[in-house]
Chain A
Amino acid sequence: MRVIEVLGPGCAKCKHVEATVREVVERLGIEAEIRKVVDYRDIAARGVMSTPGLAIDGTLVLVGRVPTRAQLEGWLTG
């Protein structure tokens, strides 16, 4: 069970990240819990200064950018 967190207040890019994550998770058939972190305090406390942020199993892997499908696949299968 992987835990994937999308950190962002809900701007266009954050939604884009979430949609991409859902798509890749479904295609890979991975069991994963996708959480949204929307509170500014929580986002800032994780050290994220440019949204969206993406964390997999508690580790931040990407900040301020939308991951490509290939990147996501790499992180989720690696």
Chain B
Amino acid sequence: MTALRAPVLQRPPLALLAVLVVAAWLAAWVLNLPAATWFTFELLRLEHGSQFGEAVAFFLYGTPKVLLLLTAAVTIVSFLRSFVSPEQVRRRLAGRGAVPGTIGAAGLGAVTPFCSCSSVPLFIGFVEAGVPLGVTFAFLVASPMVGPVPLILIAGLFGPLVALAYLLTGLTIAVAAGLIIGRLGLERHVEDYVWQIRAAGDVAQAPMTLAERVEDAWASTRSIVRRVLPFVIIGIGIGAVIHGYVPTDLVVAVGGQQNPLAVPLLVLFGVPLYLDAAGVMPVVQALVGKGLPLGSAMAFMMAVAALSLPEMVILRRVMKPRLLATFVLIVASGIVGVGYLFNLLFA
């Protein structure tokens, strides 16, 4: 253990470092808009209100903004993850009744992020420990859809009220999906081998020190941000083009209230997409700025976050086609319902 602690001690105290990082983050957040405006219109001498100038300003303002939000979100997620593991969640959920279990699973899902490549071991681990199928599904739906990453990005780009609405409706969808799947009795549509697995007991890991948690969080933040950076830049680039060049009439005509099929079509389009939330949201933000109703936008973001084609392919390993189809159908219907609801509420 001494070898492990040595590099930590040579650095400035953790609290000081944390304060400095937060201060730098806040300064960058405040200075971002004036800096982008100055750069675009003073230094590059682009014309205010011109299509090109507006697109450049959107890009220069959006890129640091989304990166700041993403870095904060991922650091918080990685830090949280060192406290709540799926193993602990499973222990708490096993043997609970349907309703409290499902609500608990949706809530715990929101604070227990997992990467989509873990969804099969996670599913097997839950089912094998005696967590009911519906409860397991509530967790599987909630975790990717209403985690801190989409919530912080939405709060930063659309405001805290929209983020709160997203959180509440997302949790509702997860609970409803869990309760319905629980009632349908689809246990026989889980691949048979899953029921035969008898896993070894819980993993005993050495408890982490605070310094280790912070260091681990920062390490995974760096690697995640580096990986999604290209997608963020592409997303903001597309957003910038929409912001500068796409006419409002077009967006309103295709995705607006006059088109009653806009919500289901956006969900149908978003479900198979495997995109990072950080890359999609700037595009959606630009579309909302051009008159796309908020409900349609939320439905699209939820569909992208909750379901994707690669994840379905992975889940097919543990679910027979009928169970998988039921799961996708229920979640997609819930998202369409949320889209219509918000188009009504925020119209």
* Residues in A lying within 8 Å of B, measured CB to CB: 8-14, 16, 40-41, 43-51, 53, 60-66, 68, 70-71, 73-74
Contacts and interface: CB of A to CB of B under 8 A. Distances in A.
A73 B86 CA distance: 27
6 contacts: A11-B117, A43-B121, A47-B125, A47-B202, A49-B125, A65-B82
A44 B3 contact: no
Contact of A16 (B120, B124, B198, B223): B223
A13 B219 CA distance: 12
Given A40-B317, A65-B216, A46 B199 contact: yes
B220 A44 contact: no
- SS class of chain A's interface: helix, strand, loop or mixed? mixed
B280 to A, nearest CB: 20
A65 B77 CA distance: 13
A45 B118 contact: no
Given A50-B121, A51-B118, A63-B205, A44 B7 contact: no
A40 B216 CA distance: 26
Interface residues of B, number: 39
Contacts of A70: 3-4, 6-7
A72 to B, nearest CB: 10
B130 to A, nearest CB: 14
Contact of B118 (A10, A62, A64, A66): A64
Given A11-B115, A48-B121, A60-B205, 5 more contacts: A9-B120, A40-B318, A44-B124, A51-B117, A64-B86
Dominant SS at the B interface?
helix
Contacts of A62: 205
A10 to B, nearest CB: 8
A48 B90 CA distance: 12
Nearest to A70: B4
Contacts of A68: 4, 215-216, 219
B41 interface: no
Interface of B: 1, 3-4, 6-7, 81-82, 85-87, 90, 114-115, 117-118, 120-122, 124-126, 128, 193, 197-203, 205, 215-216, 219-220, 223, 227, 317-318
In order of increasing CB-CB distance, the 10 nearest A-B pairs are A49-B125, A11-B117, A44-B124, A47-B200, A49-B86, A47-B199, A40-B120, A60-B203, A50-B118, A44-B121
Contacts of A61: 205
